[in-house]
Amino acid sequence: MRLLVSGGGTGGHIYPALSVIERLKQVDPDLTVLYVGTERGLENKIVPAAGIQLKTIKIQGFKRSLSVENFKTISLFLKSIKDAKKIIRDFKPDVVLGTGGYVSGSVLYAAAKLHIPTVIHEQNSVVGITNKFLSHYVDEIAIAFEEAHDQFPKGKVTMTGNPRAQQVADRVSDFSWSDLGLKDDVPTMLIFGGSQGAPKINKSVTEAVPTFNKRDYQVVFATGRKRYDTVMEQLKGVEVGENILIRPYINNMPNLLPKVDVIVGRAGATSIAEVTALGIPSILIPSPYVTANHQFKNAQALVDSNAAQMILEENLNGASLVKAADSLLQDDEKRKSMSVAAKKIGICDASDRLIAVMRKAEAKH
């Protein structure tokens, strides 16, 4: 298969694409992949680091308020379609997969107009603007949340889950907490606000540290690379117990996750895919700064299935964090029931399902 993939801006669009590429390489030794992104998005670093060829086009998103920049956006969009068509003609893909972000809008639209088989993957429960636009042109649509089904045209939609789920579920972990100076026989909670960290989450943890010191469970806290020094400054003069480990970032997250008993963090699509695939009970703190409040709706889907607890950021502080943590880490049966509920939501063959959708799109042409 010759596969052209486009998706960018954030890791939530990029990692599902890389996951399905990884799986395709296992089942199709003749696979040839080209990734189309932008120079400004995270894909510019992540994709080449994964050993995948990347080409870039120039595009930007619309401003939500009236702005002269929107005229430039329209001009860039029209030019980007022309650039995308040239890339597609040169590469001659069998199928084009879009995983979201503005860049995929140009690429998938261009591919559809060139009558190339096209598939889009929507990771969130609330459909993004780009995928809503593309849904009228592409052959097939894959979703990760049932809540997204009715937001797309009927007859094109298949529930696949998020390919990141299969990637973490298939991984064999040899990680031990002793590698980080902790104990393997003690319930352990991971607190992770994303690669950049989340100020409100970080502040709540620093408030909770004196209480966490007294607990019989362990806490691993990733502050985010840019916020580590601020957190350590806030903790100056505060005792940090041997059961608490503070790091700027967790590099080996896929290896570490299977050993986590409870995870605290945002409710992005990739995080949801990981915790449900592995059956990790979670305390979700949706970011209020995302489009259409989609993280709240992602989290609510898990809460409704008794697979997670949720704390709104406006209600988050040291006391509310400790209360939620205690309710899970001091109750083995509650954790077990939430783990079972999470696994029922998780789709551990998501990459295989998405590959089947791509084959279906090919068969239409």
Q: Is 218 annotated as ligand-binding?
A: no
Those residues whose C-beta lies under 8 Å from the C-beta of residue 288, and which sit 6 or more positions away, are 296, 312, 313, 314
Angle at alpha carbon of residue 293, lines to 44 and 97, rounded to 5°: 40
Those residues whose C-beta lies under 8 Å from the C-beta of residue 216, and which sit 6 or more positions away, are 186, 243
Question: Rounded to whole angstroms, how far apart are CA atoms 338 and 343?
Answer: 9
Question: Rounded to whole angstroms, how far apart are CA atoms 20 and 16?
Answer: 6
What is the length of the chain?
365
Strand segments, DSSP code E, in the chain are 2-6, 32-37, 53-56, 95-98, 118-122, 140-143, 157-159, 188-192, 218-222, 244-247, 262-265, 282-284, 308-310
For residue 58, count CB atoms less than 10 angstroms from its CB and return exposed for 0-12, middle for 13-18, buried for 19 or more. Answer: middle
Query: What are the Cα distances from residue 81, in Å, to 117, 195, 220, 284, 317?
Result: 17, 32, 46, 38, 47
Question: Rounded to whole angstroms, how far apart are CA atoms 252 and 207?
Answer: 27
Q: Please measure the distance between the N-terminal and C-terminal CA atoms of the chain and give it in whole angstroms.
A: 15
Q: Is 263 annotated as ligand-binding?
A: no
Query: What are the Cα distances from residue 128, in Å, to 97, 105, 204, 333?
Result: 16, 11, 31, 38
Q: Is 60 annotated as ligand-binding?
A: no
Cβ atoms within 10 A of the Cβ of 83, count?
A: 19
Q: Is 124 annotated as ligand-binding?
A: yes
What is the CB-side half-sphere exposure of residue 350 using CA atoms within 13 A?
36
Nearest one of 273, 259, 274 to 188, comparing CA atoms: 259
Question: Rounded to whole angstroms, how far apart are CA atoms 233 and 333?
Answer: 38
Q: Is 100 annotated as ligand-binding?
A: no
Considering just the CA atoms, what is the radius of gyration of the chain in Å? Answer: 21
Cβ atoms within 10 A of the Cβ of 174, count?
A: 7
Q: Which positions make up the binding site?
A: 10-12, 124, 195, 250, 295
Q: Which positions make up the binding site for UDP-N-acetyl-alpha-D-glucosamine?
A: 10-12, 124, 195, 250, 295
